[in-house]
């Protein structure tokens, strides 16, 4: 049973893969779910509001945040790529979101960070939230910025944030790396619910993963949140081993936790007038 502690929640990035997976699930957490994305993704359903907003537009973000009780922030660029879109969506966009939260008195945010904040740790290491960031690209760097930004807004303004370093959230793991990083959609919802309902959240960095036997991340620093994953990548292990080859240990994507992100790019940048 999901306890409703907020009347109105905002979900940014609602048209993305995880936004679509959470859209129906999050309705159990609130009376009204406000959905936002950059592009039109259809009309609001029962119990929903739809607000289109470019995260780089401070006025649009301010209007998007007004009147909500808490925010699940999935919006922005979710892959490695040119710097300008990442700057606009993930860095300026995150600043605009926290400024709007400050102005409108929103005191709790679940921020979709990423495992790519620590992508240059090795796969033979186990790390905690206390280990310093080692981003594997511009995308990971932007999420590290978001974590620091949220810390500033907690220390200065008391806005609590769970920085959820999402691993690989899909219907099922796709390769051997994801046996360690997989996060089921239901466990993602359980984690967000825990972050929304724990009495004292503070500023917490949490690794977004299911109950996988193989893991590179120690989540012990986040026990106060009360997240208990119920799914595991282990049930997919035999099938994944059968259809994939052994990793090449000379390949950086098999050495480092960030996988293919550690060798993506460089990308030609784009001019600001071509960024939506």
Active site amino acids: 139
Residue indicated by tokens 């949140």: 225
> Which of 193, 177, 67 is CA-nearest to residue 123?
177
| Helices and strands of the chain, counted as H and E runs | 9, 7
Distance between CA 271 and CA 274 in Å, rounded?
A: 6
Distance between CA 145 and CA 153 in Å, rounded?
A: 12
Residue environment code for 39-51, b if the CB has 16+ CB neighbours within 10 A, otherwise e: eebeeeeeebebb
Beta strands in the chain (DSSP E): 6-12, 30-37, 48-52, 70-73, 108-114, 160-166, 203-208
- Answer for the pair 50, 43: CB distance below 8 angstroms, yes or no: yes
Torsion of CA 262, 268, 274, 276, to 10 degrees: 0
């Amino acid at each position: 049973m999901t306890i409703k502690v907020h009347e109105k929640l905002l979900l940014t990035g609602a048209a993305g893969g995880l936004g679509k997976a959470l859209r129906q699930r999050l309705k159990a957490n609130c009376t009204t779910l406000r959905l936002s994305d950059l592009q039109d993704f259809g009309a609001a359903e029962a119990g929903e509001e739809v607000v289109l907003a470019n995260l780089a537009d401070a006025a649009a973000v301010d209007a998007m945040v007004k009147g909500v009780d808490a925010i699940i922030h999935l919006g922005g660029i979710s892959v490695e790529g040119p710097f300008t879109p990442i700057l606009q969506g993930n860095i300026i966009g995150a600043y605009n979101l926290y400024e709007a939260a400050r102005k409108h008195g929103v005191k709790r945010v679940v921020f979709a960070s990423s495992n790519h904040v620590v992508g240059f740790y090795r796969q033979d290491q186990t790390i905690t939230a206390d280990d310093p960031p080692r981003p594997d690209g511009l995308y990971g760097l932007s999420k590290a910025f978001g974590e620091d930004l949220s810390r500033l807004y907690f220390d200065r303004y008391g806005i609590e944030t769970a920085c959820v370093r999402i691993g690989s959230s899909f219907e099922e793991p796709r390769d051997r790396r994801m046996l360690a990083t997989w996060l089921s959609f239901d466990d993602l919802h359980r984690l967000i619910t825990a972050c929304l309902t724990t009495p004292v959240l503070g500023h917490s960095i949490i690794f977004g993963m299911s109950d996988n036997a193989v893991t590179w991340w120690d989540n012990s620093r986040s026990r106060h949140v009360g997240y208990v994953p119920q799914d595991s990548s282990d049930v997919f292990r035999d099938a994944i081993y059968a259809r994939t080859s052994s990793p090449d240990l000379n390949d950086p994507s098999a050495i480092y936790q960030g996988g293919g992100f550690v060798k993506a790019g460089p990308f030609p940048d784009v001019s600001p007038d071509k960024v939506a």
